[in-house]
Amino acid sequence: MQRLIPVLNSDHVPLHLISVINTLLTAAKEISHRLHQGSLAGTLGSTLDENIQGETQKKLDIVSNQLIKNMLLETNLVHAVASEEEDDVVMGNPDAKYLVAFDPLDGSSNIDINGSVGTIFTILEKPDHAAEGKELFLQTGDEQIAAGYILYGPSTMLVMTTGKGVRAYTLDHTVGEFLLTVEKLEIPKTTQEFAINMSNQRFWAEPMKHYIADLLSGSEGPRAKNFNMRWNAAMVSDVHRVLTRSGIFMYPADCKNSDKPCKLRLLYEANPMSFLVEQAGGRSSTGYERIMSLQPTDIHQRVSVIMGSKEEVDECLGYYKKIPCTRFDSP
Ligand code: F6P
Ligand code: MN
């Protein structure tokens, strides 16, 4: 089984970019170790703080953020980082060209129940035009040069792309290295499995309500087949299932909280996951637009997400085309 770095070398990924990815993985190995230790490491539970998005921060959110941020900045290869747990971008080496945005610990409500969580990352280059601070990161998903996630599940896996397909690696704890375990991840075009937080049903817009109602009516409904539902409440592990065996993952806009019609963040959640899904032959949309074509206006911007098996996402998007949306504009 091949190690990560020779695989990236054979794809002609620049050496400095390989070093940035490798640094992310060094931090991920440490996070994996701490998660594995659970209560023994004394890092379970919440802090008294909230992040800029008003979410309570878990101790491991903070620890993971510090580890990734500090290690990346120490490389001197990173111009700036943006994180879910940082209000503003943090500047690094003014002469470096890489920008890294990350969600240090996605699905962190799973930490205290010993469930799967993940780290999501995306790497961009400093734009040619003069840009400073958060403006640096306001690039479309199509500008990403590498993206991926580390899933901390029963095994720790890296799933990543540099725009030449999607590979999966598994952390071999005995040698402390990520070894290539899937050469090419491809999402089957059709599926009978969907992932959505059903408790938000009454807050969804009409197209999503009708689409899910038709899935639930199964073989007796217009789709004429039964669907199964799965929801791990951690985007990394829900999308990992879709990448592994098909499915459609959705976190659509809803009217539960008018200040926050969408839950997932464009820059460090939706864009990197969309890059992986498209590279694996799937589709990713807000319901109205391709996610990776959106021009971001803020680093913590939220977006409606529908991604996964191509034909199933197209089925869902058909409802957005034919059913007028009364409560939401295109996010
Ligand atoms: O990062 C946000 C997140 O934790 C995702 O990982 C996950 O898909 C979603 O929120 C879970 O949301 P909910 O708490 O509504 O199930
Ligand atoms: Mn997250």
Mean pLDDT, consecutive 10-residue stretches, the chain (331 aa), reads 88 96 98 92 71 74 96 98 97 97 95 95 92 94 98 98 98 96 98 98 96 98 98 98 98 91 97 99 98 98 98 98 71 45
Mutate to test the pocket of ligand 1, among 84, 109, 111 (most ligand atoms within 8 A of CB): 109
Q: Identify the residue whose C-alpha is closest to ligand 1 atom 12.
A: 233
Beta-carbon contacts of 257 under 8 Å, excluding residues fewer than 6 positions away, are: none
Ligand 1 atom at minimal distance to the Cα of residue 234: 6
Q: What is the pLDDT of residues 88-111, one digit of tens each?
A: 999 999 999 999 999 999 998 999
* Structural domain spans, the chain: 4-182, 193-329
Of residues 304, 307, 313, the one with CA closest to residue 331: 304
- pLDDT at res. 225: 97
- pLDDT at res. 327: 56
Q: Which fold has domain 193-329?
A: D-Maltodextrin-Binding Protein; domain 2 (3.40.190)
- Is the minimum distance from the CB of 240 to ligand 1 under 6 angstroms? no
How many angstroms separate the CA atoms of 68 and 151, rounded? 15
- pLDDT at res. 130: 76
103 CA to centre of ligand 2 in angstroms: 6
Alpha carbon 290 to its chain's center: 16
Nearest ligand, CA 196: 1
Mutate to test the pocket of ligand 1, among 197, 201, 257, 305 (most ligand atoms within 8 A of CB): 197
User: At residue 167, what are phi and psi to the nearest 5 degrees?
Assistant: -115, 155
What's this model's pTM, rounded to 2 decimal places? 0.95
Q: Residue type at 169?
A: Y
> At CA 271, angle to CA 149 and CA 12, rounded to 5?
65
- Is the minimum distance from the CB of 233 to ligand 1 under 6 angstroms? yes
Q: Is 218 left (phi over 0), alpha (psi -120 to 50) or beta?
A: left
- pLDDT at res. 330: 44
- Is the minimum distance from the CB of 197 to ligand 1 under 6 angstroms? yes
Beta-carbon contacts of 321 under 8 Å, excluding residues fewer than 6 positions away, are: none
- Is the minimum distance from the CB of 106 to ligand 1 under 6 angstroms? yes
Of residues 107, 124, 145, 144, the one with CA closest to residue 241: 107
How many angstroms separate the CA atoms of 4 and 158, rounded? 10
- Is the minimum distance from the CB of 61 to ligand 1 under 6 angstroms? no
- Is the minimum distance from the CB of 90 to ligand 1 under 6 angstroms? no
Beta-carbon contacts of 35 under 8 Å, excluding residues fewer than 6 positions away, are: 60, 111, 117, 152
How many angstroms separate the CA atoms of 141 and 113, rounded? 33
Q: How many CA atoms lie within 13 A of 163 on its CB side?
A: 11
- pLDDT at res. 326: 64
- Is the minimum distance from the CB of 263 to ligand 1 under 6 angstroms? yes
Nearest ligand, CA 116: 1
Q: Please name the residue ranges forming H helices in the chain.
A: 4-10, 15-37, 59-74, 206-216, 235-245, 271-279, 310-322
User: At residue 238, what are phi and psi to the nearest 5 degrees?
Assistant: -70, -40
- Is the minimum distance from the CB of 257 to ligand 1 under 6 angstroms? no
Per-residue b/e over 249-277, b at no fewer than 16 CB within 10 Å? Answer: bbbbbbeeeeeebbbbbbbbbbbbbbbbb
Superfamily of domain 4-182: Fructose-1,6-Bisphosphatase, subunit A, domain 1 (3.30.540.10)
